[in-house]
Structure 1
Amino acid sequence: MNPFRLLGDLAHMAAKCILIWSIHWNKSAEGISFLTQAMYALVFVTRYLDIAFRFVWIYNAIVKVIYIISAFYVLGLMRWIFPRTPESRMAWQATGISLAATCLFSTVFNYQFTLTEVLWSFSIALESTCVIPQLILLRETTVPTVITSHYLLALGSYRALYILNWIWRYVFENMVDPIAVVCGIIQTALYLDFAWVYFSRQRVKLRDGLLVDSEDYERGWIIRWLSGKDSELPLEPLGRDGIPIDEEDLLEGPIALPPYVEVHTSADDSEGVE
C-alpha cells in the first residue's frame, strides 16, 4: 500500500473519531445531518461487504470493521441518545435522488457485472453525494452545530491524500480508476463548498460565540444552487439558549437577551445591540 492511501485512511478514521467526540462533549448532535451519516453507513456496508467471505490482510479487515462500527455508532447516538436537528423535505428529496442516481450509475458503470463490483461502484458514487443533505441542513438552520473545524480539517486531509494516492498509483503502478477519480472530483468539490460555507458563516458554538449573521447564508455556490438562489430564509429572533421566539411573545414585552449579547449605549445611538 502506498503511504498516501494509508494516511488517507487514518485521516478518515480521525474525522469519525472527532465527530463522535464532539457529540459526546456537547451532549448533542445538533447541526449534523442524520441522512448524511446514514448514507455514509450504507457506503461502508456496500463497499466492505467482502469482509464476510474474503480476507486480504489484517490491516484491511480492521479498517473496514472500524468504518462500519463507527458509522452505525454515530447513527445510534443521533437516533436514540442525543437530540439532533430535523431534516427538511428538501434534504429527503436530495437523498432520494442521490440513491436513485447512484443505483443507475452503478448498474451502467462497473468493471464487472457481479454483486460485489456493482455494490462497490454504488458505494463510490454514493459517497461522492453523501454530504449534500449536510450542505442543505447547514443552509436551512440557524441552530448551533457540533461540527468543528478539526472535523473538517480531517475530512479535507482525507480527500487531499486520496488525490495524491491517485497520482501515486498512476506514476508508480501505471493504474487509473476512472470511476473513483470522477466520483472523487465531485466529492472534493462538495467538500470544498462545505468547508467554505462553514468557515464563512460558522459564528455559533454550543458553549460560546456570536449569533449567525443572515448574510452569511448567501455564501457557497453549491449550497445556493441546491437551495435556490432567491430562497432567503428569514431568521427568527433567538431568546435564551438559542430558542426561537414567537411573534406573540414579542408583543407581550421585553425579552431577556442571551448572556453573550451585550447591550450598550453611546452618544450617537441611545440603544444598540452588539
Structure 2
Amino acid sequence: MPSASSALASACRRCSRMRTQRTNACGEPGKQCMSHKDKLLWKRRFVLAQLVNAPSAYIALSSGASLAAPGTSSYAESNSSSREEVVRTLYDDYSATYDNLDGSQVADAFGFPEMRTQLLAMASGNVLEIGVGTGLNMPFYDAKNLESFTGVDISQGMLDVAANRANNVLGGVKDVRLVRADATEPLAEPLARRTFDTVVDTFSLCVIPEPVKALREMRGALNQGGRMLLLEHTKAKNAALGWYQDATADIIAGGGDGGTGKGCRWNDDVEAMLKSVEGVVIERVDRKLGGTVSLIVARAV
C-alpha cells in the first residue's frame, strides 16, 4: 500500500496535469485542488482564447455600449432627428438594463473590474467623468481622495440611475453633480466653467462619433498638471490581431447587417488620437487583453 506522502504527491501530480497549482487543498481529501484565484485565471485564459470567435460579445460586455450605428433600424428610424437626440433617446431607452452587461461572470473573467480598480485608484481632487452612464465606475473610486465628483452623460435616463448609485457609494463626497451634456460639444457652459484635477473616461470613446473632439473637451476641462485617465478599446499592435480588428470593425459596430457591439469601434488608435490633442502628454500606457484595451494616463501641460 502506498504511503500517505506518496499518495499526496500522486494527487498533486494529477492536479498539475489538470493545469492547476499545487495548493494546500491538495492535502485535504475530497477538495478540489484549485483556488478561486486559479479558477479565475484559467477562466480568463479560456475566454481570451474565444475572443477571435466572439468579438462582438467581448465588446458588448466591456463597454455596455448602446449606440446604434448607421444602417441599423434604430438609427434609420431616427434619422430625421439631430445626432444628439438620436443618441440620447437610445441611451434613455437602454438605461434600465445597461448594468446587466457589466455584472456577468464573463465580464469578471475578462478582468474589467480589476482594470477599473487600477485606473480609478489614480483619481483624486475634483474629478470629472465623461460618459458616466449609470455610474458603473462609482464603486471603484476611493471616495476619500475625491473633493468633488461631476459626471457627464448625454442621456438623462442614464443619469437618473447614476444618481441613485451615487447616493449609495459616493456618500462621503460632499459635492456630487450629474450633468446632461454632449461630450463632443463645448463643455464650459454645462460645467459652469469649472476645471478639474482628474478627467476620467472608460469605454466611451468607441461609441462617440467624433472622439478627438471629446478628447479636446476633456483637455479643456483639466487644470494645468491635471491627469486624464482613459480605459478604452484600441487597435492591437500585433499585426494579425490588428488586421482582424479592422476586418470585423464594421460588423461588430453594427454596420451593414447589424452587430452586437452597439456602435462601438474596437479598432480606434486611441494613442494616436490623444497625441493629436494639444496640451497633453501621455505618461503611461498599459495594454490589456492582447493589446485590444489600453489603460492610458496623460497629463495636461
Same fold, judged at TM 0.5 (above): no
| Higher helix proportion | 1
TM-score by length of 2: 0.27
